[in-house]
Amino acid sequence: MKSHRQILEMSGGVPTVTSFKPERIKLDFPIFTRTVHGKPLIYLDSAATTQKPQVVLDTIEKYYSYQNANVHRGLHTLAEEATAAYEATRTKVAEFIGGVKPEEVIFTRNATEAINIVAQSWGEANVRHGDRIVITQMEHHANLVPWLMLSRKTGAKLKYIKITGDGLLDLSDIDEIIDSRTKIVALTQMSNVLGTINPVEEIIEIAHKKGAMVLIDGAQSVPHLPVDIKALHADFLAFSAHKMLGPTGIGILYGKQEFLEKMEPVTYGGEMISDVRFESVRWNTLPWKFEAGTPHIAGAAAFGAALQYLQNLGMDNIRRHELELTAYALERLAALDFIKVFGPTDPEKRGGAIAFADNDIHPHDLATFLDTLGIAVRAGHHCAQPLTKLLGVSSTTRASIYIYNTTDDIDHLADGLNEARKYFRYV
Ligand code: PLP
């Protein structure tokens, strides 16, 4: 395992914490001007949702103030502008994830809806009794429940790739788990509990050799790592704008055109048709076939601004910053003998979602106490109940970082954990 100092020294030409300047980035986020319980806000809950920079907020306001119209349907200037803003973000997303075709990028409500579309549309058409669906033990419910339901509906067997004691995927029996009966492998690229970054490249290759499709849950990876879905050759990718500076209510399903073309829509109505008769209907072309009804236009416009903000920082730089800060946080937490951290100890194998438990204080009490200090963390099962049970606990406290977090924030967290021991009289 590399220490925080070694990682700082390794960083070569890539900007480090010192040149990345999260303190400067914080100034772009109005929320950091507020206090919580009279203390400056320390936001360590970005795995749940990230804060929004002024440019994203301005884009929403500008859209509703000066551009508001429905997309695709009007021939007037406002409708054209709204459509241009909406479609421009689609093109930006396509570039952001490795230069795929804009037709392969579908706007959804969130990552959850994106995964459900694949499970329902592709799944119900292609998965049969006796087939296998493979996921991992570290999936968020969004990438577990849709597959559980598909296995129930079809009689296919749901198999899990296990995790090791240190929170990595156990690939020792991967050739038995992903076999010729496997129709799809759906896995997260980064765990929202353990922080683990999974070797998706290797798993995609194994799955494809066995003739299986692969869906990557990128809800935690796309906001934090450079993700080139074209280079990975994954068949589907799902993620949410709100976890990467964008608004809530908008997400992305990427799918390879050859598969999306063959898939049936799961929601019917306006926009997704090319021709409707009283007795019949023909679907629209990609990507609109999957976008029934009025979409989140302001959300798309603002997501475009969020992507631009991230691109200006550079995804490599973001990863480098988070790697350093995660290493720092792991070191600070490891020094607290009453805290157990879950997930890989090597910061290079993980992202900055760090779940932990105090030996004595319940995670909910701990999170509530930290809130009195202005520190926002999350407590619970983080929508990964089976994983939490596997860890031998009913819940954990989770601190998660993003571009605006500093070593100071981590110091406050560590101090807060010490203070909690005093407050709850364990010292
Ligand atoms: N997958 C992972 C790994 C997540 O962490 C989350 C949200 O926390 C989701 C999927 C679902 O994202 P959303 O609630 O935006 O659909």
Contacts of 9 (CB under 8 A, 6+ apart): none
> How far away, in angstroms, is 46 Cα from ligand 1 center?
11
Give the mean model confidence (pLDDT) for residues 120-126: 98
Nearest to 255 by CA among 215, 288, 204: 215
Q: Counting atoms of ligand 1 from 1, which one is nearest the CA of 112?
A: 16
Give yes or no for a contact between 174 and 203, defined as CB atoms under 8 angstroms apart. yes
How far is 163 from 327, CA to CA, in rounded Å? 22
Contacts of 221 (CB under 8 A, 6+ apart): 188, 189, 190, 197, 227, 239, 351
Are 195 and 344 a contacting pair, CB within 8 Å?
A: yes
- pLDDT tens for 333-355 read 999 999 999 999 999 999 999 99
Mean pLDDT, the chain, integer:
95
Q: Is 111 in the pocket of ligand 1 (CB under 6 A)?
A: yes
Please answer whether residues 229 and 255 qualify as being in contact, where contact means their C-beta atoms are separated by less than 8 angstroms. no
**Whole-angstrom distance, CA of residue 380 vs CA of residue 192:** 12
Could you tell me the CA-to-CA distances from 229 to 98, 135, 200, 213 in Å, in that order?
A: 6, 19, 11, 14
Residues with Cβ within 8 Å of 21's Cβ and at least 6 positions away in sequence, in order, are: none
Q: Does the beta carbon of 378 sit less than 6 angstroms from any atom of ligand 1?
A: no
pLDDT digits (tens, 9 = 90+) for 353-390: 999 999 999 999 999 999 999 999 999 999 999 999 99
CA-closest candidate to residue 272, choices 282, 259, 258? 282
Using an 8 Å Cβ cutoff, are 351 and 244 in contact? no
Say whether 74 sits in a helix, a strand or coil. coil
Distance of CA 188 from the midpoint of ligand 1 (Å)? 10
Which pLDDT does position 378 carry in this prediction?
A: 98
Asked whether 188 lines ligand 1 (CB < 6 A), one says: yes
Q: 184 in helix, strand or coil? A: strand
With bands split at pLDDT 50, 70 and 90, how would you rate the model's confidence at 100?
Answer: very high
Q: Indicate yes or no: pTM above 0.75.
A: yes
Sign, Cα dihedral of 116, 121, 122, 123: positive
**CB-CB contact of 141 with 168 (8 Å):** no
| Plot region of 161 (φ>0 → left; ψ -120 to 50 → alpha; else → beta) | beta
Q: From the CA of 275, how far away is ligand 1's center (Å)?
A: 35
pLDDT-above-70 percentage for the chain? 96
What does the alpha-carbon distance between residue 73 and residue 80 come to, in Å, rounded to a whole number?
9
Give the model's pLDDT for residue 1.
Answer: 53
Contacts of 291 (CB under 8 A, 6+ apart): 106, 107, 271, 272
d(CA 86, CA 101) in angstroms, rounded, equals 15
pLDDT-above-90 percentage for the chain: 94
Q: Measured in angstroms, how far is the CA atom of residue 20 from the centroid of ligand 1? A: 27
Look up residue 118 and give its two tokens: 């694949």
Is 60 exceeded by the pLDDT of residue 16?
Answer: no
Residues 6+ apart with CB under 8 A from 145: none
Statement: residue 18 has pLDDT above 50: no
Say what the pLDDT of residue 243 is: 98
Q: pLDDT at position 57, please?
A: 98
The region that residue 380 occupies, defined by phi over 0 for left and psi between -120 and 50 for alpha, beta otherwise, is: left
Q: Give the catalytic positions in this structure.
A: 383
Buried-state track 239-270, b at ≥16 Cβ within 10 A, e below 16: bbbbbbbbbeebbbbbbbeebbeebebbeeee
d(CA 109, CA 291): 10
Kindly list the structural domains of the chain, giving each domain's residue range(s) and its CATH number in brackets, ordered by start: 4-53+315-416 (3.90.1150.10), 56-311 (3.40.640.10)
Structure-block tokens of residue 256: 């390879």
Predicted confidence at residue 15, as pLDDT, reads: 39
Q: Are 350 and 326 in contact (CB under 8 A)?
A: yes
- pLDDT of residue 13 exceeding 50, the answer is no
CA 78 – CA 93 distance, rounded (Å): 23
Cβ(134) – ligand 1 distance below 6 Å: no
d(CA 118, CA 147): 10
What is the mean predicted confidence (pLDDT) over 223-247? 98
Residue 353 is which amino acid? A
C-alpha angle 233/320/165, rounded to 5°?
70
Asked if residue 144 has pLDDT above 90, the reply is yes
pLDDT value at residue 20: 85
140 lines ligand 1 (CB under 6 A): yes
Q: What is the pLDDT of residues 290-349, one digit of tens each?
A: 999 999 999 999 999 999 999 999 999 999 999 999 999 999 999 999 999 999 999 999
Q: Which of 93, 88, 29 is nearest to 57 (CA)?
A: 29
- Residue bearing the CA closest to ligand 1, atom 5: 192
Q: How confident is the model at residue 11 (pLDDT cuts 50, 70, 90)?
A: very low
Instruction: Tell whether the model's pLDDT for residue 5 goes beyond 70.
Output: no
CA distances from 230 to 101, 237, 390 (A): 10, 11, 34
Neighbouring-strand partners of residue 236: 215, 255
Per-residue pLDDT reduced to its tens digit, 29-38: 999 999 999 9
Cβ of 326 less than 6 Å from ligand 1: no
